[in-house]
Structure 1
Amino acid sequence: MSLDPRLTPANARVAATELKGQVEVPTYTDGELTQCSSAFGDIMGRPEGRRTAQLLYGDLFNVLERRKGFAFGQSVHDGYCGYVSEDLLDRPHDPTHWVAVPSTHLYPGANMKLMNTGTLYLGSEVQVMEEEGSWSRLSNGGFVPTMHLLPLGTRMDDPVAVADLFFGSPYLWGGSTRHGIDCSGLVQTAYRACGQDCPRDSDMQEAQIGTEIDHDRAERGDLLFWKGHVAIVSKPGMMIHANAHHMSVSYEPISEAIARIEASGGGRVTSARRP
């Protein structure tokens, strides 16, 4: 049986306990649950390698091995595996809210005139300790505007509207934030904000999400797939996607995108799916 390394919590030295009998390594472990304590943390296929995905602040990461400044493990929310810099991980908190705007600043106090000390991005899960007027004090000691947060159980209901919040964001391979995002990161972020589970990469999304439909009948919220690419239909005939052609999140007529992608060697639409 061939295991997808992106979703298999194992390297040459260690593996998750549940993989006993499936992979042969010297050590098996249940791991150590941590959380991303930075605005975002790159997940890499190997230490100091290329970014393949990102954790957001508050995302849980089960660490199987710590070695030479890197932690190998698995993201809890989507199962993605890889290496993260150890200094970006900390003990988990109990989240109460999530960031529901493209980005928000962290401040050392409940005053917008103070120098900001950091940034949080849409989807980040935070623990609110108390509210002071229109501000929320978080467990990390920082303050954010309360109007930028939603309770953990409250989700948005329109993935296209969420994707629109990223319009103009720069394209970034493996990215998942307003700072930089790729095609499948945009889809995952949009559907996750609406409370829908979504795998990280476009091939996984094509294999697992919804039911296949005729792409000529695609409606708002449907997904269009090419080999290695995905877009969200914003309305009949129009789509929004993070793409390397524009190097940003952009809107594009579906017919023009289909012709452009095929002409550039990207192939034809492989499927359309309705979540």
Structure 2
Amino acid sequence: MTVPLDPRLNAFRPDLADRRLDGRVRAARFVGGAARRVTAPLAALRRRPASDAPLETQALAGEAVLVFDEPGEGWAWVQLESDSYVGWMESEALGPPAGAPSHEVSVPRTLVFPGPDIKLPPVSDLPMGARIAARGVAEDRNARYVLIEPFGAVVEQHLRPVGAAAAEDFVSVAERFLGAPYLWGGKSVLGMDCSGLVQLSLAMTGRAAPRDTDMQEAFFAPVGEKEPRRRGDLIFWKGHVGLMLDGERLLHANAHHMMTAVEPLAEAVARLAARGAPVTSVRRA
């Protein structure tokens, strides 16, 4: 039996589809995607080309995307190259693909200064995982800086070379987001959801993971029911995921606390079970 393609991960509509899907889906026209790169610090990927449409996920600065359609009015229909997610993004968040990123932000949030001077008013900020292309370095009496394309400066200790080995496990990365407000579809310290926390934390340790909870539950290997819980185990409910800090405590971005929080696993299990949502599986990342 042929399994239908997931529209979240495959760019196809009745009127237009990714050329790579020719012969697998029906569409009036097939096109190749145009390579672009995210230039905004964070770019919302929405279900429809409207600012009030539901947020599906967020793309981070420097992320590569394929653009399949730009019908006007400031919107582009795109696919993220990192996790294949498909949706609508504002065209002004995108730039040319030139200048492969050389560094990524390794702290929850860093500031971009107009020049190598921390006393200058910042012009923007960048979230963890955002990638930049370096054009040089500079130093003053306060700090060392990486000068970034097309302009600006970021303090050196907030960056690491792309592909550099992480010094911490993915749970330690996730812990750095404690207190971040809950945001459906969010992937930064300014707003985070449960599966975004798992995906970003793993990505910062060099491990790819799908975006949504159902995808993650299918992706990771199951843990036996009688096996003790350990740090890094993922606990799944329908539409929700959390990660274990140790054998008893759960870290998760959740709508009960409306932030990324830690609580005893037993409390989370009981609360969700009372709402008709039992644990569906435990997986090991």
TM-score category (smaller protein): over 0.9
Which residue does the alignment assign to 2:55? Answer: 51
**C-alpha distance in 2, partners of 1:119/1:155?**
24
- Decide which of 135, 146, 160 is 2:156's aligned counterpart: 146
* Contact 2:47/2:56, CA 8 A, preserved across alignment: yes
**C-alpha distance in 1, partners of 2:20/2:197?**
31
Deviation per CA, 1:171-209: give whole Å up to 9, x if none: 000000000000000000000001001000000000012
Instruction: Tell whether 2:65 aligns with 1:61.
Output: yes
- Decide which of 83, 86, 95 is 1:90's aligned counterpart: 95
Moved more, 107-116 or 8-17: 8-17
Instruction: Tell whether 2:9 aligns with 1:7.
Output: yes
Deviation at 1:240, TM superposition (A): 0.4
**C-alpha distance in 2, partners of 1:79/1:264?**
33
Instruction: Tell whether 2:139 aligns with 1:128.
Output: no
What does 1:182-197 correspond to in 2, within 5 Å? 182-197=193-208
- Decide which of 267, 270, 274 is 1:256's aligned counterpart: 267
Which residue does the alignment assign to 2:178? Answer: 167
Deviation per CA, 1:130-168: give whole Å up to 9, x if none: 110200100120110010001112132401110011000
Which residue does the alignment assign to 1:77? Answer: 82
**C-alpha distance in 1, partners of 2:20/2:225?**
39
Which residue does the alignment assign to 1:274? Answer: 284
Which letter does structure 1 place at the counterpart of 2:79? Q
| Structure 1 alignment gaps of length 5 or more | none
* Contact 2:111/2:124, CA 8 A, preserved across alignment: yes
Which residue does the alignment assign to 1:21? Answer: 23
**What percent identity do the matched residue pairs reach?**
37
**C-alpha distance in 2, partners of 1:233/1:136?**
36
| Structure 2 alignment gaps of length 5 or more | none
Which residue does the alignment assign to 2:122? Answer: 116
Moved more, 192-201 or 66-75: 66-75
TM-score, structure 2 normalization: 0.93
Deviation at 1:27, TM superposition (A): 1.8
**C-alpha distance in 1, partners of 2:96/2:189?**
25
Which letter does structure 2 place at the counterpart of 1:96? S
Deviation at 1:107, TM superposition (A): 0.6
- Decide which of 34, 37, 40 is 1:35's aligned counterpart: 37
Deviation at 1:2, TM superposition (A): 1.8
Instruction: Tell whether 2:224 aligns with 1:219.
Output: no
* Contact 1:51/1:174, CA 8 A, preserved across alignment: yes
TM-score, structure 1 normalization: 0.97
Which letter does structure 2 place at the counterpart of 1:12? P
Q: Give the superposed CA RMSD.
A: 1.2
What does 1:230-249 correspond to in 2, within 5 Å? 230-249=241-260
CA 1:183–1:260 in 2, change beyond 3 Å: closer, same or farther?
same
**Match of 1:132, SS?**
strand
**C-alpha distance in 1, partners of 2:36/2:257?**
36
Deviation at 1:214, TM superposition (A): 2.6
Deviation at 1:14, TM superposition (A): 1.5
